[in-house]
Every structure is written in structure tokens, then in C-alpha cells.
Amino acid sequence: MFKEIKINYGSLFEDALLKEIEEVGVYKEVRKDDKLIEIGAYVKSMPLLISGAIKILREDGDGNELFLYFLEKGDTCAMTLSCCIGQGQSKIRAVAEVDSCLYMIPVQKMEEWTSKYKSWRNFVFASYHNRLLELLDTIDNIAFLNLDKRLLKYLQDKSKITNSNIVSSTHQEIAYDLNTSRVVISRLLKALENKKVIELQRNKIVLLES
């Protein structure tokens, strides 16, 4: 299983670091909808994503969820990084979007590697950078785009991470992620279908060629 690490991270990390990852890392497989991190949880290890995709969600005081972004292979969780530095609790929830494979690294190693390996520092900074850009993009979406644009982007994101133009979600699930009601999603999806952008089926949404 370690060769998976090498394939996805080999170009980023020097051999000595790869060797350490192999020694202390724990390989883990998760199924779709498995919860990886709960809000308020203390983070004990940081994940290196090898395959699959993780959905990152925020939650308001009333328990309403809001989709933030997806993590894909080669990504790590920036929230975890910040938790490790500040010893804090997670502010987000992480749920496996599809069956995924991870390498779990104990947080104690974080600090050690940060001073020891240049490539690790670069990786951490790059991860922060990417997450920040991703978040800005999401904020733009929420603040400046109408819900129909947001919905379309959500579908396209989802299609991208599953490498398929078929999105298997119910209208209700989408409504939860975008923090709105199913009626609205149904109506907007219907409108998109009329515009020949998508095709609707039960439990399935087919994205047509654009």
C-alpha cells in the first residue's frame, strides 16, 4: 500500500521523508458517508488523501449544514494542520464523499517534520494556500452568485470528483449541502433540465455536454 504514497506524493517529498511516512503512517480505508472528523473533535492525526474525495462541511448554531469544498487525492486537511498548531478543536466536519484511501500521520510528527524537511514545509504552505483559494471561491459563490449558479457549480464539482457526469444525490441531500429547501432545488433542477443542461432521473442527475 505504501507505493500509493509514492505515486501521489513521491514528487513532493524527499526519500527520507517518504521513509518516515511509511514508518509512522497508518493506512486507512473509509467508505462513502463515513465521518472522518466531527465538529468539536480533537484532532489526533492528519490525513494524506491517496484516493477518493472528502466533503468538508460547516455547521451553524441550529445544526444546518453548509458545504464548503471537496478534498481530492494529494490534498490534506488544512483544518487539521491548523488544529495541530493551535491544539484546538475542529471547526468543520469531514465526510467521505466516495470510498477513499488515506494515510494517517500522528500529529506529533508534524512539528518535527516542519523543521526537518523543506519539502514538508512547502507542502504545508501549499496546502494552506490551496484551501484558502478554495474557500475564497466558495465565499464568492455564496455571496455573489445566485443559488442556481451555485447549484450548477456544486453539480460540476461533484461530477469532477467522481469522474462521471452522473451525480447520485437526492434533491434533499443537495438542499442540505447548500443549506436551502428541497422545493427550491427541485425547481432549479427542473429549470436546468428545461435548459438542456442536465437530465433528471430518480436519485440521479446527468450532466449533459456543455
Partner DNA sequence: TCATTAACACGGG
Partner DNA sequence: CCCGTGTTAATGA
Which residues would be at the binding site for DNA (CB under 7 A)? 146-147, 170-172, 179-184, 186-187, 189-190, 200, 202-204
Quick check: 199 and 193 in contact, CB under 8 A?
yes
Of 65 and 72, the one with the shorter C-beta distance to DNA is 65
Of 136 and 208, the one with the shorter C-beta distance to DNA is 208
Give the up-direction half-sphere exposure of residue 61: CA atoms within 13 A in the CB hemisphere: 0
Which position has the grid cell 478554495?
A: 134
Q: Report in angstroms how near the CB of residue 174 gets to DNA at its nearest.
A: 8
**Calpha distance 51→72 (Å, rounded):** 7
**Calpha distance 60→125 (Å, rounded):** 28
∠ at Cα 123 (141, 30), nearest 5°?
70
Q: Report in angstroms how near the CB of residue 200 gets to DNA at its nearest.
A: 4
Which position has the grid cell 511516512?
A: 21
Q: Report in angstroms how near the CB of residue 159 gets to DNA at its nearest.
A: 16
For residue 24, with 0-12 CB atoms within 10 Å meaning exposed, 13-18 middle and 19 or more buried, which class applies?
A: middle
Assign 1 to helix, strand or coil.
Answer: coil
Quick check: 178 and 185 in contact, CB under 8 A?
yes
Of 124 and 198, the one with the shorter C-beta distance to DNA is 198
Q: Report in angstroms how near the CB of residue 188 gets to DNA at its nearest.
A: 8
Q: Report in angstroms how near the CB of residue 64 gets to DNA at its nearest.
A: 9
